[in-house]
Structure 1
């Protein structure tokens, strides 16, 4: 059995992964997210953008995978599982998933903004946020940048092609914790459905995918995923599970 999992911010939020909007102390709240997450922002003020991503890198180190992440990793015991994630944390890997495709990059990957060389040196600890930090320099003279897909950039070909291939070969697709509005990732469930592959949406809230999904489970990832495969098997089919959850 082959399972393709598309995960979004909802699954990481259950672990307490902070977002820009979770800036409780207001340190970064005065900045436009575009200013900190775009090619223009990097060009205009790389020190500020680097400080923002170092801070996020530090915060993610303090959170742990939740039951949803661990359940997906455990599915590898009975199936071939490809995780396609829009998240930039490494919680799927830390939970034990071995095939993880990061569509939007990772807070734990860094490269030169000029020659594209991978930068593997450990990042400095950043227990307190700073407004500006000078990024390291590559041997070619370029600046080391986070391996994140910013506004104005295309998705990386490798992860995207691997994601499309995994969806096309899947026997089942599970979409968890994503708003289903960010393309091109949001088009992957439609690709699965067009090929007759059942798509299970796991999300406490309705999304644009809800009406077309084969089955909908209105629970959080941590609640739904540990028993999802067993419940689907007991229901007999994804369609029966959807009917059961709707009652």
Structure 2
């Protein structure tokens, strides 16, 4: 069985959803027979490559809330992350174009080691203080630390066309499947799960997809999700 997951490095719920799904998969009786493939989805494909800015300021600007409310939202996500054992910096993070990261993830997929790079990118964005966006050298160091050949990584980053079509194809396919936000999980092209659902929901989806095959994707549940316009969060006092 194949599970495809559309995500973006900018999306905190993708970070949470990956961990919750991973916990469900670890408890799934047929886990060794599940292939997991990560697909590309940019929350904002219009962002210029090479530029970045503070996350809290961007959240406040985008949703017309105060910086204090935006910071409270980040603390709320941090609390959710802590519940599943994930580190999460609630302040000092940046945001920016993730296109080059998605290109590198397709490069990693071709090497059969996509998961290692994705985990490194998530940790760098959500748990480490050093800026991730707008710095190819940072991406090179992360990829090399994850076990990839430095010259190959540099070659991908130096060529803006390398794996670009793969990224765009993933994004087009997400639209065709009806995904309006991420994370979006597709189980064996039969069932879809939208959002950073509880682990129990992912466990249910794994069981259902394994036991029952239907021709059309059916969406299971609805929870926190990041859409093309970003992560809209409720204001917190």
Report the TM-score, using the length of structure 1 for normalisation.
Answer: 0.30
Higher relative contact order (CA 8 A, sep 6+): 2
Greater Rg by CA? 1
Normalization by structure 2: what TM-score? 0.31
